């Protein structure tokens, strides 16, 4: 019994020991698992508790997640290889939720046969998924290139991913991937939830402006389906027109799968899909909100396959005839769908978007132009007119369309289309700043109207100036612009709709510039109050904390004898002080190396804003003319044009009224060619 009991106790002891070690092993395994769990997003923590990512793919793929259903990731020899990509957006994701509310620097070492790869951020904000490029690199050299950039991740962002994608579907290789916080780290779990403002008593723009024009805004489709209804409620209250910010663009409605599924059916008539728009369009119909169709023919946000034989990007471009057929049938399908399902809902269509190049004297190079030729615009309008229902207005839409050069080029291209009766209006986008000349904007409007067309402002957003009074100054500018819109309308300019490009700053495509009417919590910005005041006639109140600008009106004088100058190069010019053939003394300023005529020498004259100045200087150049001009975007008012050419010194003396209303202002010297020029004894002083 003793023995027995001894055995029993022995067995019991061993069992207990075994059990104990099992528990130990299990708990160790569990804690390892838990630790893995904690790190399953691959984020490491430094000695200060700040998260970072730094992976070199030496030990497996780490936190890399395939982006795209078919995409495959494998790791070999310290490289992450991303294969089986069927779309340009396929690639690799890295979770980034630990960085919400922080500014981060992101770096990746990338190689690919694709011409470019990019590093971007994906996040959900108020129920809408947004994508922002952090950096893009040329990757097809056969070597690794480093792509990097800094980005601020909104405090309200959710489901954050950093990702790498490419311009085409070739494999991508990644050797290193890093994310580091810039500045002090904010722990996202400590961030307060956004409390939305109560909008019930807000003045209603659509009602206030009813006598003048429709008031629209751009929205994503998710506003309607979103469980957060604050946004759509504000839209319904304030606006009577909308534009889909992205979802009616060619890349959202052209249907690749269906188009390639039956080429005998779709080769000349690409398939289109609209299901994703239904909810919002039904909403608009129900609430009497009309819709701008944006956009049919555009160089951007159009899938590459549309231009290729068999819709296969590895094959050649199709010929002009087939491209014209695809264009015609695509336009036809869109109008047929709109008319069948939503008659009366669409008030206008942007038939062609942004066809004129920046700088403004030629057409932008794009696939439409390369395949069809310069008349692709005329053709698009011809087809649009053929299929558009009566009463739906057809528009050409562009940004910087108020700038003289671009405006004149647009007018030249639109003249024959207007003469043929195939266009009804010009959309002036209006992605502008508070330095944009209001008078120039209105003048361009009138010139478009002179073609017998109506005008719409289609995508208004105005960057907030980066100064102490930014919020107020932006409000003052909105106020001035809308007063000008009202006056223009009263004087007969056919301005029929003004659309703002979004409702609140954090959801704007230019969120860093805070360019919209409402703050992130939907509270009224001074910008909104400025727009309201423009129509009610109220005065916009200066805030108590307004910082008066102290103008430094001290004289600017530089003879360059000490080698110094207060200005700097404009764009790609080079500026320096040299001793070859000065006007007097032993030195003068030279400005060389420009690639464009507007490269030159810029001098800050912010101190003289709103004042009369006296200026004098000596200049020499081999260029036929040298000019002194004020740097006001869209206007560039010329002060002096000097006949140079001889490369002899010419003395200039004069007076000028520097326009008011600008926080900062520069003037610049340029030549009419890209020849260099020399300046000496530059004087700018108060004239009064
Ligand atoms: C922008 C959208 O706002 C962004 O969300 C998108 O990523 C890029 O396009 N001109 C146009 C608009 O005609 O369609 C553009 O919208 C802004 C410039």
Residue 341 backbone dihedrals phi, psi, to 5 degrees: -95, -30
pLDDT value of position 407: 94
CA of 60 to the centre of ligand 1 (A): 38
* Nearest-angstrom CA–CA distance, 44 and 35: 11
CA of 431 to the centre of ligand 1 (A): 10
Q: Looking at ligand 1, which residue's alpha carbon is closest to its atom 9? A: 246
Question: Best mutation site among 131, 301, 506 for ligand 1, i.e. most ligand atoms within 8 A of its Cβ?
Answer: 301
Verify whether ligand 1 is closer than 6 Å to residue 429 (CB atom): yes
Verify whether ligand 1 is closer than 6 Å to residue 461 (CB atom): no
* Nearest-angstrom CA–CA distance, 560 and 363: 43
Q: Looking at ligand 1, which residue's alpha carbon is closest to its atom 15? A: 245
Residue 615 DSSP SS3? strand
What are the residue ranges in the chain where pLDDT is below 70?
1-40, 634
CA of 131 to the centre of ligand 1 (A): 12
CA dihedral sign of residues 50, 55, 59, 64: positive
Count of helix runs (H) and strand runs (E) in the chain: 15, 32
Verify whether ligand 1 is closer than 6 Å to residue 629 (CB atom): no
Q: Looking at ligand 1, which residue's alpha carbon is closest to its atom 13? A: 353
Verify whether ligand 1 is closer than 6 Å to residue 269 (CB atom): no
CA of 626 to the centre of ligand 1 (A): 38
Which residues of 116-201 form beta strands (DSSP E)?
116-125, 128-138, 145-152, 158-166, 172-182
* Nearest-angstrom CA–CA distance, 353 and 649: 47
User: At a CB cut-off of 8 Å and minimum separation 6, what does 411 contact?
Assistant: 447, 448, 451
Q: Kindly report, residue by residue over 332-356, the tens digit of the pLDDT.
A: 999 999 999 999 999 999 999 999 9
Verify whether ligand 1 is closer than 6 Å to residue 52 (CB atom): no
Q: How many residues does the chain have?
A: 688
Q: Which domains does the chain have, with CATH numbers?
A: 45-190 (2.60.120.260), 212-353+365-397+426-432+445-463+471-536 (3.20.20.80), 556-686 (2.60.120.260)
CA of 301 to the centre of ligand 1 (A): 9
Verify whether ligand 1 is closer than 6 Å to residue 299 (CB atom): no
* Nearest-angstrom CA–CA distance, 684 and 654: 10
Question: Best mutation site among 293, 431, 457, 501 for ligand 1, i.e. most ligand atoms within 8 A of its Cβ?
Answer: 501
Verify whether ligand 1 is closer than 6 Å to residue 132 (CB atom): no
pLDDT value of position 512: 85
pLDDT value of position 3: 36
pLDDT value of position 404: 84
CA of 335 to the centre of ligand 1 (A): 22
Verify whether ligand 1 is closer than 6 Å to residue 479 (CB atom): no
Atom of ligand 1 nearest to the CA of 294: 14
Instruction: List the catalytic residue out of 238, 328, 354, 496.
Output: 354
CA of 300 to the centre of ligand 1 (A): 9
* Nearest-angstrom CA–CA distance, 120 and 674: 37
Active-site residue flag, 459: yes
Angle 530-533-539 from CA coordinates, rounded to 5°:
95
pLDDT value of position 37: 41
pLDDT value of position 127: 84
Verify whether ligand 1 is closer than 6 Å to residue 353 (CB atom): yes
Verify whether ligand 1 is closer than 6 Å to residue 509 (CB atom): yes
Angle 381-384-387 from CA coordinates, rounded to 5°:
150
CA of 294 to the centre of ligand 1 (A): 10
pLDDT value of position 481: 97
Q: What is the DSSP letter of 276?
A: G
Verify whether ligand 1 is closer than 6 Å to residue 245 (CB atom): yes
pLDDT value of position 38: 45
Verify whether ligand 1 is closer than 6 Å to residue 246 (CB atom): yes
DSSP string, 306-353: GGBGGG-TTSPBPPHHHHHHHHHHHHHHHHHHHHHH-TTTEEEEEEEE
Instruction: List the catalytic residue out of 459, 496, 635, 670.
Output: 459
Residue 414 DSSP SS3? helix
Atom of ligand 1 nearest to the CA of 354: 13
The 3 state secondary structure assigned to 635-670 is CCCEEEEEECCCCCCEEEEEEEECCCCCCCCEEEEE
């Amino acid at each position: 019994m003793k023995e027995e009991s001894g055995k029993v106790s022995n067995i019991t002891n061993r069992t207990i020991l075994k059990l104990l070690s099992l528990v130990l092993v299990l708990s160790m395994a569990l804690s390892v698992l838990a630790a893995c769990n904690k790190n399953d997003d691959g984020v490491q923590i430094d000695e200060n508790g700040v998260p970072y990512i730094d992976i070199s793919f030496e030990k497996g793929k780490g936190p890399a997640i395939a982006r795209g259903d078919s995409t495959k990731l494998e790791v070999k020899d310290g490289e992450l290889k991303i294969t089986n990509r069927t779309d340009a957006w396929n690639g690799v994701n890295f979770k980034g939720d630990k960085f919400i509310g922080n500014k981060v620097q992101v770096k990746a070492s990338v190689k690919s046969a694709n011409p470019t790869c990019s590093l971007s951020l994906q996040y959900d904000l108020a129920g809408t998924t947004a994508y922002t490029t952090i950096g893009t690199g040329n990757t097809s050299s056969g070597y690794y290139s480093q792509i990097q950039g800094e980005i601020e991740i909104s405090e309200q962002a959710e489901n954050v991913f950093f990702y790498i994608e490419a311009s085409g579907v070739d494999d991508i290789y990644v050797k290193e991937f890093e994310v580091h916080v810039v500045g002090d780290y904010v722990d996202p779990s400590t961030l307060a939830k956004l409390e939305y403002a109560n909008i019930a008593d807000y003045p209603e723009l659509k009602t206030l402006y009813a006598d003048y024009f429709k008031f629209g805004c751009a929205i994503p489709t998710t506003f309607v389906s979103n469980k957060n209804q604050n946004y759509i409620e504000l839209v319904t209250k304030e606006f009577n027109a909308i534009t889909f910010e992205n979802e009616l663009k060619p890349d959202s409605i052209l249907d690749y799968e269906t188009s390639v599924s039956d080429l005998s059916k779709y080769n000349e008539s690409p398939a289109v899909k609209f299901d994703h728009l239904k909810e919002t369009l039904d909403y608009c119909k129900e609430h009497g909100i009309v819709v701008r169709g944006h956009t049919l023919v555009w160089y951007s946000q159009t899938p590459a396959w549309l231009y290729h034989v068999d819709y296969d990007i590895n094959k050649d471009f199709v010929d002009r005839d087939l491209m014209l057929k695809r264009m015609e049938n695509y336009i036809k399908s869109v109008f047929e769908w709109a008319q069948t399902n939503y008659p009366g809902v669409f008030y206008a269509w942007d038939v062609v978007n942004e066809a004129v190049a920046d700088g403004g004297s030629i057409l932008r190079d794009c696939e439409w132009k390369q395949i069809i030729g310069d008349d692709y615009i005329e053709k698009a309008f011809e087809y649009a007119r053929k299929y558009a229902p009566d009463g739906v207005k057809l528009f050409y839409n562009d940004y910087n369309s108020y700038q003289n050069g671009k405006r004149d080029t647009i007018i030249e291209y639109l003249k024959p289309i207007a003469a043929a009766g195939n266009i009804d209006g010009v959309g002036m986008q209006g992605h502008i700043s508070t330095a944009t000349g209001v008078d120039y904007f209105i003048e361009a409007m009138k010139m478009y109207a002179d073609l017998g067309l109506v005008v719409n402002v289609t995508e208004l957003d105005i960057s907030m100036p980066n100064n102490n009074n930014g919020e107020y100054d932006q409000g003052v500018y909105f106020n001035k612009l809308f007063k000008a819109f009202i006056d223009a309308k009263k004087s007969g300019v056919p301005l029929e709709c003004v659309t703002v490009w979004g409702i609140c700053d954090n959801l704007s495509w230019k969120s860093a510039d805070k360019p919209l009417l409402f703050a992130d919590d939907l509270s009224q910005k001074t910008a909104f109050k400025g727009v309201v005041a423009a129509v009610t006639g109220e005065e916009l109140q200066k805030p108590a904390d307004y910082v008066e600008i102290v103008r430094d009106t001290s004289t600017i004088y530089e003879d360059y004898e000490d080698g110094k100058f207060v200005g700097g190069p404009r764009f790609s010019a080079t500026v320096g002080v040299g001793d070859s053939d000065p006007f007097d003394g032993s030195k003068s300023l030279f400005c060389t190396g420009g690639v464009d005529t507007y490269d030159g020498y810029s001098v800050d004259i912010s101190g003289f804003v709103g004042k009369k100045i006296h200026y004098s200087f000596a200049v020499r150049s081999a260029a036929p003319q040298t000019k002194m001009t004020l740097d006001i975007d869209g206007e560039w008012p010329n002060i002096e044009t000097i006949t140079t050419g001889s490369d002899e010194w010419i003395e200039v003396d004069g007076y000028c009224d520097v326009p008011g209303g600008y926080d900062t202002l520069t003037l610049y010297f340029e030549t009419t060619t890209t020849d260099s020029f020399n300046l000496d004894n530059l004087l700018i002083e108060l004239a009064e």
